[in-house]
Each structure stands twice: as C-alpha cells, then as structure tokens.
Amino acid sequence: MPVEYAKFPYLTTILLSCIAGLLIIVFMPRERKTEIKVVSAVFSGITLVLSIYLYFAYDKQAGGLQFVEKVLWVKSLGIHYFNAVDGFSLPMLLLTGIVFFTGVLTMWELENRVKEFFALLFLLVSGVFGLFMSLDLFFIFIWYDVSLFPMYLLIAIWGSTRKEYGAMKLTLYLLAGSALILPAIVYLVVQSGMNTFDLTALMAPGTFTPGQQRFAFLLFYIGFGILAGVWPFHTWSPVGHVAAPTSVSMIHAGVLMKIGAFGVLRLGIFLCPEGWHYWAHLMAVLATVGIVYGALAGLVQTDIKYVIGYSSVSHMGIVGLGLATVTLDGLNGAVFQMFAHGIMTALFFSSVGYIYDRTHTKAIDELGGLSQIMPKASSFLIVAALTGIGVPCLASFWGELVVFIAAFKTYPLCGTLAVCALVISALFILRVVQRTCYGPKNEQFAHLPDISFGLSIPRIILVSVIVLFGFYPALLFDMIQTASVPLFGRLP
C-alpha cells in the first residue's frame, strides 16, 4: 500500500505529551497536590484534543494508514519506530483520550500519594496510546507491557477490597498472557525470514504457511484473550476491577480490556488470517460461554463493582463473538462494541466511584434510595446501566445489534444463547439500579451531598459521547469500514 509520511508527528506528540506529563509530575514536589492534578488534566487534555483532531482529520476516502511515522530503530533486528493509524486504531485512540481525561478529572479528590498516582497513570496511558498506534511488533510488545505493569502498584497502593490479592492476580494473569505473545512474535519474525518486526511487511500474503498461522494465532488469541477477559481466562477481571481505584477501573475496563481485543485483531487477524478461520469456532464457543457465564455470575453478586466486572466479561464476550463470525459485519460490530463498551464501563465505574467515595460501601444491600439522596450521581449510574443493557439510541445498542445479526447468520445457536444472556444481563443490571437508586433510603447516608458540578464534568462528557454515538453511529461505523473492508479484501 502507498505510504505517505505525516507532515507533523501528531502520534509522537500524543506519546510525548504523556511522557512530558509523567516527567513534570516526577519533578514536582509531592506536597503540591493541586498543581499536580492541574498538570495531569492539562496533559491528558492535550492527548484528548489531539486524538479528536486525528479522528476528524483522517481521510476516510483514502483509507489505509495515515499520519505515518517511521524511523529505523535497531538495524540488526529490523526494528522500526513505526506509528500510523487506520480505521481500527483511531476509535481506540479516541476512546483512550476520552477515558484518560475523564479518569484524571474523576480522581480530583485523591489525597494519598497524589504524585505517584498520576505519574503511574501517565506511564500506563502512554503504553496504551503507544500500543494502539504502533505497527512494529517489538514496540507493540513494549507498549503492551508498559500499559500493564504500573497496574500492580496502582491497585496495590490505592485500591480497596482485597487489593493486594487482586493486584497480584491481575498482574500475573496479564503477564502470563505476554508470555505467550512474545514467543509468538519471535516465532513469526524468525519464520518469515525477513529479519523485520514491521507489521505491514509481515502482513504480505504468503509470508506464513497455514500451519504457522494456526499456531501463532492460537498463542495470540490466548495471550491477548486473557486481557480481553475471554472465558475461562477472565477470573482476574472482576477481582482486579473491584480492587482498583475508580479511575484505574475506568481505564482498565474501559481501555485495557480493549487492548486485548485489539491485539487479537492487529496481530492475530492481520498476521494470521488463516489461523483466524481455523480457530473461529473455538472463539465463538468461548465467547458465548463468556457472555452467558458473565451474565449469570453478575446476577448473584452483592458488590456493585463485581456486577460491573462480570458485565464486562459478558460484554467483551460480544466483541469476541463478533470477531469469531469472520464476517465484515461481525468485525465492524466488534470494534464498535469495543468503543461503546469502553465509554459505557468508564461511566459505570466513575459513577459507582463517586457513590463509594461518599458512602464507603459497594454492597448493594447497604445502599438504597440513592436517587433521593444524590439524584445527579444516581442518574449517571442509571444512564450507564441502560447503556449496558443495550437500550436503543445509546452507543452499545449498535455494536450489540450488528454483532448479533452477524452471529445469527454464522452461528445460530451461539447467537440465540447470547441474546438470551442479554436478557439476563438486563435483569442483573436493573436489579442493581433498583436496589441502589430506588427503594427505601438508607438513613445512614441521608446527609451525604450530591455530586458537585466539577466532579460531574467527566461523567457528563462520557454521557454525551454515549448519546452522540447512539444517535449517530455512522460516525464510527464509517471509520471502521475504512479498515475492515480492505482487510476482507485481502483475505483469501
């Protein structure tokens, strides 16, 4: 494909603003908490503005890779610093920008070890941005790990509910995934005989034999699948989400789990399309089990964050089901769902976060009548819940709809089961809303203040995005099409 280099390195600027934010925070005195938060907001704001700009500056007619930056990095191994975006990565960049910015604003009330928190958050997010924009396997792996290891400290220091256990479990699970991904990358690079880590070069048809593709795809699928919460490798996810502090939960469920799905797409499907065909049935079965299991497990939880954690497993199952159909619609729907679920779950965690900060409980039974005590805060929770159910005119609806249509055609049984599970998930999410927002007030919490305007800004942003893409899904579908149509054009 023709490659046109970027006139201005927008993508590197996004990375650099993360790293600049990190460095500035590192050299600030730890007592100046407000200034640290302002710096964090400014630099995360820059990344958001840049990702919005790129989203709209991308030429959808031309498609393909744009804003390309490529520098030879290590000659003897054929490693390039190679950044570019296409219709798959732009929605992810936008998602990361939104969740990062709103995540920083959500943590405005943090008082404990502020400096280290935001420094680690910037490190984590630079990994996420890097992964979405990189097209070199070496850098993809580096960014993958950079986005994971700060997680341990973020959860173990600032978390709640069995935080050390949750942090350790999460980190070990996710890095076990990387233990499969690295051999797969090295295997493919060596087998190609091209001495390059450049994804676009390795993508050329006929580079790998079907056998190699099947083997490597399985490693990628399991390795990244752990992060995407694929059943039966999902058990870290509810535990980790519950233990993590609010904005980390937001970024984690909102963005990091998407990295898993994106990795399957970018490495697995791009490099090993034959493996994708071969393992599609397995993917469909695991995804369906995940959807049903997540919904059933969510039904019996007593902790709100566990409910959201299991709903994430279920919703990420929908992404997996979309990918498993090996159809254009399924792929489009899966990417749409990745974006929509990211925003939805960020809003969910952020609204629960406010409630937890005030009441210091996440137990569903102890809460009640919140819509009388804090009407605004609970309205955010209700919007998130409705999005989770897949109510029309809210973003998630479109992703789920398209995936289910594709799934019915390809795997009628899986599709039917998944739709049934959706009803269950509606049940368990509504159960949470009913028991926390309505019903008798818990007098213990009656005196608590409603959410202030400043703290509701991030939630309002998230709600607007959900509504925007709910009413105007073409904004996202057109973008995804620019990448998914050529991808299917390449397939045998």
Partner 1 sequence: MMNWMLLGPELHCLLMGGVFLGLSMVRPNPARDYLTAMVFATVVVGFGLAGMKLQGDLFAAAYRVDLYSQVFKILIGLGLFLVVSISSGMKGIDERYHPEYYLLLATCTLAMMMMASAVHLVALFIALELSSYSLYILVSMRKGRGIGIEGGIKYFFVGASASAVMLMGMALIYGATRAFHIAELMEILPSVLNQPEVIIGLMFTLGGFFFKLAVFPFHFWAPDVYETAADQVAAYIATASKVAAVAILMRMAAVSGGGSKYLIDVLAILAIVSMTVGNLAAIVQKDLKRLLAYSSIAHAGYILIGILSMSQSGYAGTIFYVLGVVVMKFTCFLVVVKGASGGRNIEVSHLAGLHRRSPILALALMLALFGLAGIPPTIGFTGKLLIFTAAVEQGHLPLVIIAMINVVISLYYYLLILKAAYVEEPAETLPPLEVSPALKVLAIALITVMLVAGIYPQPLIELARAAALALI
Q: Which residues bind partner 1 (CB under 8 A)?
A: 73-77, 116, 138, 141-142, 145-146, 149, 152-153, 156-157, 164, 168, 171-172, 175-176, 179-180, 182-183, 186-187, 189-190
Query: Max Cα separation, the chain?
Result: 70
Range 287-302 burial, b when 16+ CB lie within 10 A, else e: bbbbbbbbbebbeebe
Distance CA 33, CA 109 (A): 10
The smaller minimum CB distance to partner 1, of residues 213 and 442, is found at: 213
Residue 9 CB partners (closer than 8 Å, separation 6+) = 69, 83
Q: Minimal distance in Å, beta carbon 142 to partner 1?
A: 4
Q: Minimal distance in Å, beta carbon 51 to partner 1?
A: 23
The smaller minimum CB distance to partner 1, of residues 98 and 272, is found at: 272
Whether the CA torsion 56, 59, 65, 70 is positive or negative: it is negative
The smaller minimum CB distance to partner 1, of residues 19 and 426, is found at: 19
The smaller minimum CB distance to partner 1, of residues 190 and 300, is found at: 190
Distance CA 372, CA 367 (A): 12
Check: CB of residue 324 under 8 Å from CB of residue 411: yes
The smaller minimum CB distance to partner 1, of residues 101 and 129, is found at: 129
The smaller minimum CB distance to partner 1, of residues 41 and 176, is found at: 176
Q: Minimal distance in Å, beta carbon 128 to partner 1?
A: 14
Q: Minimal distance in Å, beta carbon 137 to partner 1?
A: 11
Q: Minimal distance in Å, beta carbon 275 to partner 1?
A: 16
The smaller minimum CB distance to partner 1, of residues 142 and 328, is found at: 142
The smaller minimum CB distance to partner 1, of residues 42 and 77, is found at: 77
Whether the CA torsion 289, 290, 295, 296 is positive or negative: it is positive
Q: Minimal distance in Å, beta carbon 148 to partner 1?
A: 8
Q: Minimal distance in Å, beta carbon 353 to partner 1?
A: 21
Distance CA 187, CA 198 (A): 14
Check: CB of residue 15 under 8 Å from CB of residue 26: no
Distance CA 406, CA 385 (A): 25
The smaller minimum CB distance to partner 1, of residues 190 and 420, is found at: 190
The smaller minimum CB distance to partner 1, of residues 116 and 274, is found at: 116
Distance CA 231, CA 386 (A): 24
Could you count the other beta carbons within 10 Å of the beta carbon of residue 12?
18
The smaller minimum CB distance to partner 1, of residues 34 and 76, is found at: 76
Distance CA 342, CA 425 (A): 17
Q: Minimal distance in Å, beta carbon 485 to partner 1?
A: 34
Q: Minimal distance in Å, beta carbon 415 to partner 1?
A: 35
Q: Minimal distance in Å, beta carbon 15 to partner 1?
A: 12
Q: Minimal distance in Å, beta carbon 104 to partner 1?
A: 21
